[in-house]
Structure 1
């Protein structure tokens, strides 16, 4: 599944199966459908219904695994991969008193610290500082952006990455050395819970956790074999800054890196297949962000059908169809930011009965268990959301369930997310369209940032807050924020959604709380107040 429409199609298909009483896909990102049905409903009928709808389904294991008896194998738990999910699994095993091995064939630390969150966010912040030096909004201040020393910028980024990799991964593993053994090599799986390394070593395990992550996907465009395109990994390690850049994609990675390069002086063009950038977000958020990016000189094209790519006269040329017309886009570099491909090539999943979806991501149940009950999987290699904090939470749950026989589940009902553009985009809960599709009596409100005192004082009113509520219960169902530091706002909204689910916390409860004046999060209260009041008629701090 790749969108809300996919989730609805799967739900509709399963509801048609005789004996199915209720179906819910808890967000298409989960890769799961949860249903209640009569005991005599055949699993094959469910799988066939999903297949007829154009998707692929695998029944999840119905029973938790038995507790591990220590010492019956070389290791009680073998974890493959040292990213956030793998580290969390190994550490949890050690905390529970079990012996674990963690296997790594590449650089310790996985995606986030090495080639993902950490390097991208420090470059994004650097680009923001440079941009503000030349484009601040305050009178009487004369500042200039006087040039970029690209090698120095990349060197400082690399120093931060190396420091965090050592401090948060290498040294942490060493502190658990009594229970966790680091083994270097590329692993594959064999029947009987055996793990074989590329140098021929073989280890046995009572349970296994796969945490091998994913890598940037590359579209198979005609001509791609002859063109050296950038990915999010290589773009942040260039020897020199490109003068021009075409970005293929219009979601988080594409927009974050595209804006960062543009702010550092690269001419950037974004080509997005969907009719809007970040298409799974509220349209008002996407449209306003598009305007902000365009205001900075970034060319944003949507509804793009990519046709081919080639090199001509030293430039990379992308051929695309937009609105029925064929166009040519030229740049020094092309960044491919179109999603992820799971790192499962070496693992031998089919041989050990681990099922994957149509894109190759490992399917897991809510206990992180694969279709092989002795093998668990966490992080970007699975069908779950590709977020490091989801991976880390899943790693601890997977190790606990695998080793102790518990049935802890990863709860993604309230999942805050942030896109680190400027302004930032943050969301939690469901959108207006999702709420209506689920049958809620929907109320919505939109508050432009020009009504938020913090934004006025900072002279940056780009953005808005959109809230989605259920009219019947007056609960907050979802929130999306487009604002400077929106990521610092969204957790309050996440708590409001969570407490609404658990304790009946309402919009009235939210508006009744005290929020510090001249903070961005005050915009959340002001937005909630607009369900009943005209905020233009409120005095400062007045409820």
Structure 2
């Protein structure tokens, strides 16, 4: 058996793990990184990059299908599913290759392959071949898709979101369970690529939204494209010779049965911590066995152990994983001199059409924080009649902004809007800069651009703060077609 003594051990080589490794190494410490699976980040292999490749193909198909509305009539319209998936996989592999090249640059003596488990608070066993003792450790083991155990009876006809990016061709029909971020992105993309899609959810939630007005607007839009029931009553789900039969009650309570080629489970992800033996350490865990950690230092209840990325179960987003990895790695490298790291304003984007985005504090969080007592104001703008959105035939969606009464401090936003990825970045910068609504309204807005919808919502919000006049319909000063 091999024995290694290190200053810092990083468990996991994904986005958070790589960031933690490089940051800890900057302290000139001996750092060892352990990986129990394939190298390559979740984002590159099965997450943000391959999903955006599929969405890009779907967007291209949708633009062709919508062209006649502009008086442009393309010729023969055909979607080659094999070609679509071939490009998705080829480009995915290129992104993975870039990550692998980065990992290859790490010295071989700093990498250990195998599954790690804690022997005690400072000792890890990797499979049965290596025992590692460390002064400080970072848990960055990532996450995996999860679904109800009963669904395993569907065998190979049950797929998780990760499996989609290994397809050689597109199926004829799918049932997607889980209208969250991943489910909505995949479901709409597959629909626009010619796949018959049924989407089922539980509890009425949609893509992480909490504002009921934005959620209703988004739900209506998606339901106009493909079958969507965000609070479905699904009964029997059974594998048959040529697919999966699913029984459910429709909106009127009438029983229906559909047959699909595949079922896609997009019902959430689970942090990969159950094999680490954390129960031996006396570490504070949540009810799912995930380590509790300080949001600014990423330090667990054991001062020398830190957790970052999807394993922390905070915000499972690449930029968050990278930021958490840097904070955790820095603190592990400088231990016991712990520092609070910069945590950015919340910024989350769903690449549907219209896109969905959340910035800063959401509606539900503000309701809890202020008790629903009118201590925060709401401003909104619809994109149905917004000038630039109508020009490009993307006039769907709703933007809602929140600000604190009295101070006028901008608190956050939820939206389903065209180009929401860009609107959200502007708003996230304003939020992190702790700008007031008045200060935001002093910023320049060009005409005609979709960003003018932000100005409309800000003016509506300013009126709600009693710091400006009420909005006047079709007022030129308010920006006709804003």
TM-score (norm 2): 0.89
On the 8 A contact 1:363/1:382 being kept in 2, the answer is yes
Aligned residue for 1:497? 431
Aligned residue for 1:270? 199
For the pair 1:515 / 2:453, whether they are aligned, the reply is no
Aligned residue for 1:392? 322
Aligned residues between the structures: 465
Q: Secondary structure at the match of 1:281?
A: coil
Pick closer, same or farther for the CA change 1:235–1:162 going to 2, 3 Å. closer
For the pair 1:99 / 2:27, whether they are aligned, the reply is no
**1:106-505 equivalence runs, <5 A:** 106-136=37-67, 138-144=69-75, 146-167=77-98, 169-177=99-107, 181-221=110-150, 224=153, 228-278=157-207, 280-296=209-225, 298-320=226-248, 327-366=256-295, 367-404=297-334, 405-409=336-340, 414-439=345-370, 441-500=375-434, 505=435
Q: Find the partner of 2:13 among 54, 79, 82.
A: 82
The offset of 1:394, in angstroms, is 0.7
Pick closer, same or farther for the CA change 1:97–1:230 going to 2, 3 Å. same
Q: Secondary structure at the match of 2:245?
A: strand
**1:9-28 equivalence runs, <5 A:** none
The offset of 1:227, in angstroms, is 6.4
On the 8 A contact 1:445/1:528 being kept in 2, the answer is yes
Q: Secondary structure at the match of 2:110?
A: strand
- Whole-Å Cα distance in 2 between the matches of residues 356 and 136 of structure 1? 54
The offset of 1:230, in angstroms, is 0.9
The offset of 1:410, in angstroms, is 5.2
On the 8 A contact 1:83/1:109 being kept in 2, the answer is yes
- Whole-Å Cα distance in 2 between the matches of residues 332 and 276 of structure 1? 26
Pick closer, same or farther for the CA change 1:89–1:137 going to 2, 3 Å. farther
The offset of 1:156, in angstroms, is 1.9
- Whole-Å Cα distance in 1 between the matches of residues 78 and 475 of structure 2? 46
The offset of 1:239, in angstroms, is 2.7
The offset of 1:526, in angstroms, is 2.3
On the 8 A contact 2:380/2:458 being kept in 1, the answer is no
- Whole-Å Cα distance in 2 between the matches of residues 192 and 225 of structure 1? 41
Pick closer, same or farther for the CA change 1:188–1:429 going to 2, 3 Å. same
Pick closer, same or farther for the CA change 1:158–1:408 going to 2, 3 Å. farther
- Whole-Å Cα distance in 1 between the matches of residues 192 and 288 of structure 2? 34
Pick closer, same or farther for the CA change 1:372–1:250 going to 2, 3 Å. same
Pick closer, same or farther for the CA change 1:285–1:388 going to 2, 3 Å. same
On the 8 A contact 2:82/2:168 being kept in 1, the answer is yes
- Whole-Å Cα distance in 2 between the matches of residues 391 and 276 of structure 1? 24
On the 8 A contact 1:210/1:376 being kept in 2, the answer is yes
- Whole-Å Cα distance in 2 between the matches of residues 171 and 253 of structure 1? 27
Pick closer, same or farther for the CA change 1:109–1:408 going to 2, 3 Å. farther
| Deviation sequence 1:459-504 (CA, Å, 0-9, x none) | 211112111122211122121222222011112111222223xxxx
- Whole-Å Cα distance in 2 between the matches of residues 406 and 148 of structure 1? 57
Q: Secondary structure at the match of 1:309?
A: strand
On the 8 A contact 2:377/2:405 being kept in 1, the answer is yes
TM-score (norm 1): 0.79
Runs of 5+ consecutive residues of structure 2 not aligned to the other structure: 464-468
Pick closer, same or farther for the CA change 1:83–1:222 going to 2, 3 Å. closer
Q: Secondary structure at the match of 1:300?
A: strand
